Amino acid sequence: MSEEPTSTADARRRVTELIRQARICMLTTIGVDGRMVSRPMALQEAEFDGDLRFFAYAASAKVRQIRVNPEVNVAFSDQRQHAWVTVSGTAQEGYDRARAEQLWNPILTTWFPDGLDTPGLTLIKVHASSAEYWDSPSSTVVNLFGFARAAATGRPPTVGEKHEVSY
């Protein structure tokens, strides 16, 4: 995988683009017993300025885990773009009605039937400390061909670019 240097601004811009396109992610927290726990979440803010936001129930396991150990990871995958992003950071829980109103989407009533008045509704904010992304401009078929060639030649495949960025 290529790791050519890119400007921090370009890398941050690309992370934002990839997150915006994917929208669904896996939020990983650390359980009270020390094991990692991942679950799918829908991102509530498409603009990524170093913070990600999610709606949740204040009494949920993920919120309890964040209160004990705020270190989290958020992983996005966009199969259409052949791209992946992982964001490491610190999470906190807190309800801000004004922010919730800005972020609310009617589809959320599926999980929160009383909308913004759902008892126990809260927001999780993840403040990113770093992000990595893998960007593959090729199709799945081209990537599979590259893997087959690598297996035959014993040389690692070139499947795209990997970049890291700090926040």
pLDDT digits (tens, 9 = 90+) for 111-142: 999 999 999 999 999 999 999 999 876 544 44
User: When comparing pLDDT for 50 and 26, which is higher?
Assistant: 26
Q: Which pLDDT band holds residue 146 (cuts at 50, 70, 90)?
A: very low
Q: Which CATH number fits domain 8-166: 3.30.70.240, 2.120.10.30, 3.40.50.740, 2.30.110.10?
A: 2.30.110.10
* pLDDT(149) > 60: no
Strands (E), the chain: 24-30, 36-42, 51-57, 71-78, 83-93, 121-135, 161-166
Q: Is 9 helix (H, G, I), strand (E, B) or coil?
A: helix
pLDDT > 70: percent of the chain = 79
Instruction: Report residue 101: phi and psi, to 5°.
Output: -65, -40
Question: Which residue type is seen at 119?
Answer: P
Tracing tokens 């589809």 back to the chain, one arrives at 107
The residues spanned by each domain of the chain are 8-166
